[in-house]
Copies of this chain bind each other. A is one copy, B any other.
Amino acid sequence: MTETRWLTADEQRAWRAYLEATNLLFDTLDRQLQQDAGIPHGYYEILVRLSESPDRMMRMSRLADLTRSSRSRLSHAVARLEERGWVERIDCASDRRGQLAHLTDRGFAALEEAAPGHVETVHKHFIDPLTDEQVAQLASIGEALIARLERPGSSRES
């Protein structure tokens, strides 16, 4: 750290707007899902990823990567989902360390029931307020941010 690069007024405005909008949006989504389906948004993402996987089944480590979870978090989350009977763990045949998470029929049904309300909320609070152009901009922006965040060491370090 040589000299702090403070934010300009424009940058600060963008940062605060983004921060505030995101906090509000995530709170809204979490509340909706918690009320309608009894799970936090992170759990919903787990179910979605499993539902999109062949045989509705996936290695824990891969699922953790896809959902950007730590392994610890995923372990806890899957344990909770298993208690509800929405997911089950299966030993991995080829690697005895491994576990497969499998979305059960009950879990799939729960996801199908939760999806419309969730998507409607996303539509209402994320898509509807924006123009098509802004939605496209967000895709580019998100992808640019991800590219940087995935390679932590790709800029001048202190």
Contacts and interface: CB of A to CB of B under 8 A. Distances in A.
B149 A28 contact: yes
Q: How many copies does the complex hold?
A: 2
Nearest to A66: B20
A105 interface: no
Contact of A141 (B122, B134, B155): B134
B116 A145 contact: no
A14 B145 contact: no
Interface residues on A, range: 35 or more
A146 interface: yes
Interface in A1-60: 1, 4-7, 10-11, 13-28
Interface in A127-144: 127-130, 132, 134-144
Contacts of A127: 7, 11, 15
Interface of A: 1, 4-7, 10-11, 13-28, 68, 115-117, 119-120, 122-130, 132, 134-150, 155, 158
B138 A126 contact: no
Given A7-B122, A28-B149, 11 more contacts: A7-B123, A10-B132, A10-B136, A10-B139, A14-B139, A18-B142, A22-B22, A125-B145, A128-B148, A129-B145, A130-B141
Given A1-B116, A11-B127, A122-B7, A138 B24 contact: no
